[in-house]
Amino acid sequence: MFELEFMRNAFLAGFIISLLCPCIGLFLVLKRYSMIGDTLSHSSFAGVAIGLVFGFNPIITAFIFTSICAIVIELLRDYFKKYAELVMSIILTLSLGIAIVLISSGKASAKVNSYLFGSILTVSKSDLYLISIIGLICFVTIALLYKKLIYTTFDEEGAKVSGINVKLVNYIFTLIVGATISVSIRVMGILVISSIIVVPVATAMQLKKGFSVTLILSMIFGVIDILVGLITSYYFNSAPGGTIALTSVALLIIVLILFKRE
């Protein structure tokens, strides 16, 4: 299996994604903001459609479009403070509308399935380099903002009083979320990206540890989900995104059974 270059590329890309997605996922879950994963994954669909129709690298166009949508979400939050889910619906509707119009033109329909459901065959060396660079930037940014992110996650008002530029931190974090989703579409597929963002976090939270330990456990569960999912999808010739999603839910059920509350 590993003598094949596309499998090595897929596993390396998957390893980066399996660390990055649960890392941002924990902050999203604790912010009660996990739906942003679904919203931005649909935004990445529009970005991919733009790339396929106009002949650009779909990952780059997905990254640009998803980042724009992430910034717009943060801007609109000021106008819909009591109805944050309304912002998600607006962006999701806009993105799906753009994607459907472009895909229905017939110029991208042949290639779109590999982005919707994920495909280990499509991870090229250039994609791996791009995923590695964006992943490294995201990890470094999270490390630099780690304490501020924790503060704004648990007490946004207290963070403002203490002098933290909460708006800037939120803008940067939403950009990280957008970047993470855009680089995950090759392996995971657009439809199930949110599963690797949220489910490993839900699994880790069942162990009832502190924030730092839960973050590490989330990343460990993410690695297990993606590696097992990729191996299974290779041998059963199934879409990796769906297989990884099923693996992550199966692992969550196992942990729930083993560590069920008294």
Supply the DSSP string of 8-52, one letter for each residue.
Answer: HHHHHHHHHHHHHHHHHHHHHHHTT-THHHHHHHHHHHHHHHHHH
Phi, psi of 155 (to 5 degrees): -155, 85
Q: Give buried/exposed letters for 59-98 (b at 16+ CB in 10 A, else e).
A: bebbbbbbbebbebbbebbeeeeeebeebbeebbeebeeb
pLDDT tops 90 at residue 120: no
Residue 91 pLDDT > 60:
yes
- Provide the percentage of residues in the chain whose pLDDT is more than 90: 23
Spatial contact of 41 and 65, defined as CB atoms under 8 Å apart: no
| Residue whose token pair is 């998957």 | 14
Nearest CA to 179 among 20, 32, 45, 42? 20
Under the phi-then-psi rule, with left for phi > 0, alpha for psi from -120 to 50, and beta for the rest, what region is 124? Answer: beta
* pLDDT tens, residue by residue, 9-28: 888 988 999 999 999 999 98
Identify whether the C-beta of residue 117 lies closer than 8 Å to the C-beta of residue 241.
yes
Residue 194: which residues within 8 A CB-CB, separation 6 or more?
A: 34, 37, 38, 41
Q: What integer pLDDT is reported at residue 121 of this predicted model?
A: 67
Which DSSP symbol is given to 82? Answer: T
pLDDT at 119 over 60: yes
pLDDT digits (tens, 9 = 90+) for 173-218: 988 988 888 888 877 888 788 888 999 999 999 998 889 999 999 9
Six token digits for residue 237: 């010739």
Q: Which amino acid is at 164?
A: I
Which of 49, 42, 35 lies closest to 87 in space, CA to CA? 35
The pLDDT score that the predictor gives to residue 83 is 66
Cite the DSSP H helix spans in the chain.
5-30, 35-54, 58-77, 84-103, 109-117, 125-144, 146-154, 156-161, 166-188, 193-205, 211-236, 240-258
Query: 18 or 85: which carries more pLDDT confidence?
Result: 18
Each residue's pLDDT tens digit, 27-64 = 988 887 767 877 888 888 889 888 888 888 888 898 89
Residue 70 pLDDT grade (very low, low, confident, very high; cuts 50, 70, 90):
confident
pLDDT of residue 2: 65
> What mean pLDDT comes out for the span 76-101?
80
- For 61-70, 107-116, 166-175, which range has the lowest pLDDT when averaged over its residues? 107-116
Q: Would the pLDDT of 1 be above 70?
A: no
User: Residue 183 has what pLDDT?
Assistant: 84
More confident residue, 154 or 34: 154
Quote the CA–CA distance of 190 and 179 in Å, as a whole number. Answer: 13
**How confident is the model at residue 59, as a pLDDT?**
83
- Calculate the average pLDDT of the chain: 85
DSSP conformational letter for 192: G
Q: What is the pLDDT of residues 227-247, one digit of tens each?
A: 999 889 888 888 888 888 999
